């Protein structure tokens, strides 16, 4: 791709799933061969889909956690954007996007660890998961998403 800036951003939602201890769910991506890539659940918004509905759908697909086990606490005020590194443009999402534009949701988890089922969707996105302290998130994520994670933390900090 010679000019990624000509491509649009992919509409997306992200989910900060927080348990009763104030810890955040992260999953280790199956498709990342370059190391220890952890992230919070996220995914594309279908055309015409409500953002909250998309967040609950993505959460169920990636973690097996249904909406009966969660409470939506907040949504980011604005979309957060990130650009893919040049080496990934053209390889992800059929080469149609330069990165993602995301609204993030803070969602409180009311279930137990046994309610998390990474194989709820085929194919699964994560092969491991864990609860982590919120402030450790930027150190766990791929570099091109760090700014977004810091912004999500800043906006949701007092609600976690």
Spatial distance between the Cα atoms of 101 and 81, rounded to a whole number of angstroms: 4
Residues ≥6 apart with Cβ < 8 Å to 61 = 43, 120, 121, 125
Topology of the domain comprising 11-159 = Nucleoside Triphosphate Pyrophosphohydrolase (3.90.79)
Phi, psi dihedrals of residue 103, rounded to the nearest 5°: -100, 135
pTM for the predicted model, two decimal places: 0.93
Alpha carbons within 13 A on the beta-carbon side of 68: 2
pLDDT tens-digit profile of 72-105? 999 999 999 999 888 887 777 878 899 999 999 9
Q: Supply 145's token pair.
A: 């998403």
**Virtual torsion, Cα 102, 39, 133, 14, nearest 10 deg:** 20
Spatial distance between the Cα atoms of 40 and 129, rounded to a whole number of angstroms: 10
pLDDT tens-digit profile of 106-147? 999 999 999 999 999 899 999 999 999 999 999 999 999 999
Measuring CA to CA, which residue among 95, 103, 102 is closest to residue 6? 95
């Amino acid at each position: 791709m010679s000019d990624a800036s000509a491509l649009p951003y992919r509409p997306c939602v992200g989910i900060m799933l927080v348990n009763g201890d104030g810890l955040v769910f992260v999953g280790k991506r199956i498709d990342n061969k370059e190391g220890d890539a952890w992230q919070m659940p996220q995914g594309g918004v279908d055309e015409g889909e409500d953002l909250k509905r998309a967040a609950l759908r993505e959460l169920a697909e990636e973690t097996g956690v249904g909406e009966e086990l969660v409470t939506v606490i907040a949504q980011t005020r604005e979309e957060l954007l990130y650009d893919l590194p040049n080496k990934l443009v053209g390889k992800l999402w059929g080469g149609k996007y330069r990165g993602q534009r995301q609204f993030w949701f803070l969602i409180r988890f009311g279930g137990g660890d046994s309610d998390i089922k990474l194989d709820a969707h085929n194919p699964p996105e994560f092969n491991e998961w864990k609860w982590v302290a919120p402030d450790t998130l930027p150190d766990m994520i791929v570099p091109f998403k760090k700014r977004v994670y810091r912004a999500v933390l800043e906006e949701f900090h007092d609600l976690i």
